[in-house]
């Protein structure tokens, strides 16, 4: 929702209608100049029990009154991160200060006030309480640093990888929802068989997603290796290899796929028609031109020069 209608009063009323009366059972008040107020937050379910959201917001106060908290369908736990410091108060609890990177874990069926004095970006996750009945202790918890921080980092990283996908079909969305629930269970202190199942399912999926995301960010580095990836993610080389293998692939195949796709895009770009193919290959992270040519033809069925010739002809 991008709340930018004609006047500040209309804009604010539309936000209140959407968030307080229809969607999240939250009332919103801008801080500072109401003419500059903007709220663009989106929320979508992955399954019947898990949903993801996020977006941007200018300074504001978000409140849930006892009446709104009593609304049916809010029996869930909310996790939220904000890129700027904010303050949260829930029921009788004293106001707690949150810094960027801290995670708010709070019940959606409780009255609260959340003050965001600065504009920033937000990432949210909600999970139906029935999915974690034995792990909720108290009305709200602030988890940061040593208190489950590693699993929350995995959780938010995995959630972001899902949100970056243009489309997620129903079976994959359901699977992702289970993985996120597993990670939340571990962050909230699951033990015994519950913890072991969560590690074998959700944690492994999230770690593989994090490894793949790292390769996608760093594939142009000619020195990128499986040992480098293992070091960055505090894992052994064998653990990294095993995660890729369990999905039916390898680190090397994943790395080569990104590098080959980079070169293919560059070859099809008319603005780069004057650049040597070798330059594009080295730019993508390849250090051996002969090996690059063999891999490219094996992947695409034609030589790199043929792809460029076809692209030049189509734009000529």
Give pLDDT tens digits for 104-141.
888 887 888 999 999 999 999 988 887 775 555 444 44
What pLDDT is attached to residue 169?
A: 83
pLDDT at 310 over 50: yes
More confident position, 195 or 74: 195
CATH number of 254-315: 1.10.10
Q: Which fold has domain 8-218?
A: Jelly Rolls (2.60.120)
pLDDT confidence band for 261 (50 / 70 / 90): very high
pLDDT at 234 over 70: yes
CA-nearest of 304, 308, 313 to 268 is: 308
More confident position, 29 or 244: 244
Task: Say which DSSP state 198 is in.
Answer: H
Query: What whole-number distance in Å separates Cα of residue 24 and Cα of residue 66?
Result: 14
Mean pLDDT, rounded, for 147-172: 82
- Please answer whether residues 163 and 209 qualify as being in contact, where contact means their C-beta atoms are separated by less than 8 angstroms: no
pLDDT over 90, % of the chain: 44
Residue 208 has, within 13 A of its CA and on its CB side, a CA count of: 21
Give the domain ranges of the chain.
8-218, 254-315
Q: For residue range 176-229, list pLDDT tens digits in order.
A: 999 999 998 888 888 888 888 888 889 999 999 999 999 999 999 999 999 999
């Amino acid at each position: 929702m991008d709340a930018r209608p004609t006047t500040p009063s209309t804009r604010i009323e539309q936000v209140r209608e959407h968030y307080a009366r229809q969607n999240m059972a939250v009332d919103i008040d801008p801080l500072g100049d109401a003419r500059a107020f903007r709220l663009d937050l989106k929320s979508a379910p992955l399954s019947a029990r898990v949903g993801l959201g996020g977006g941007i917001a200018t300074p504001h106060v978000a409140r849930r009154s006892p009446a709104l908290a009593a609304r049916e369908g809010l029996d869930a736990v909310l996790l939220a991160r904000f890129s700027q410091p904010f303050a949260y108060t829930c029921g009788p609890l004293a106001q707690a200060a949150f810094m960027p990177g801290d995670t708010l874990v709070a019940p959606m069926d409780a009255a609260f006030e959340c003050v965001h004095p600065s504009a920033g970006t937000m990432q949210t996750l909600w999970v139906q309480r029935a999915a974690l009945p034995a792990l909720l202790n108290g009305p709200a918890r602030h988890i940061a640093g040593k208190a489950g921080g590693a699993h929350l980092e995995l959780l938010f990283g995995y959630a972001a990888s899902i949100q970056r996908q243009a489309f997620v079909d129903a079976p994959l969305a359901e699977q992702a929802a289970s993985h996120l629930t597993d990670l939340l269970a571990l962050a909230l202190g699951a033990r015994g068989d519950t913890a072991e199942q969560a590690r074998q399912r959700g944690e492994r999926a999230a770690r593989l997603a994090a490894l793949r995301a790292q390769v996608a960010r760093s594939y142009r580095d000619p020195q990128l290796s499986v040992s480098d990836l293992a070091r960055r993610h505090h894992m052994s080389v064998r653990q990294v290899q095993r995660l890729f293998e369990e999905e039916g692939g390898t680190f090397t195949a994943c790395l080569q796929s990104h590098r080959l796709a980079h070169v293919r895009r560059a070859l099809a770009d008319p603005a780069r028609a004057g650049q040597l193919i070798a330059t594009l290959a080295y730019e993508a992270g390849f250090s051996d031109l002969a090996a690059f040519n063999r891999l490219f033809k094996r992947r695409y069925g034609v030589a790199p020069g043929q792809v460029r010739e076809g692209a030049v002809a189509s734009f000529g």
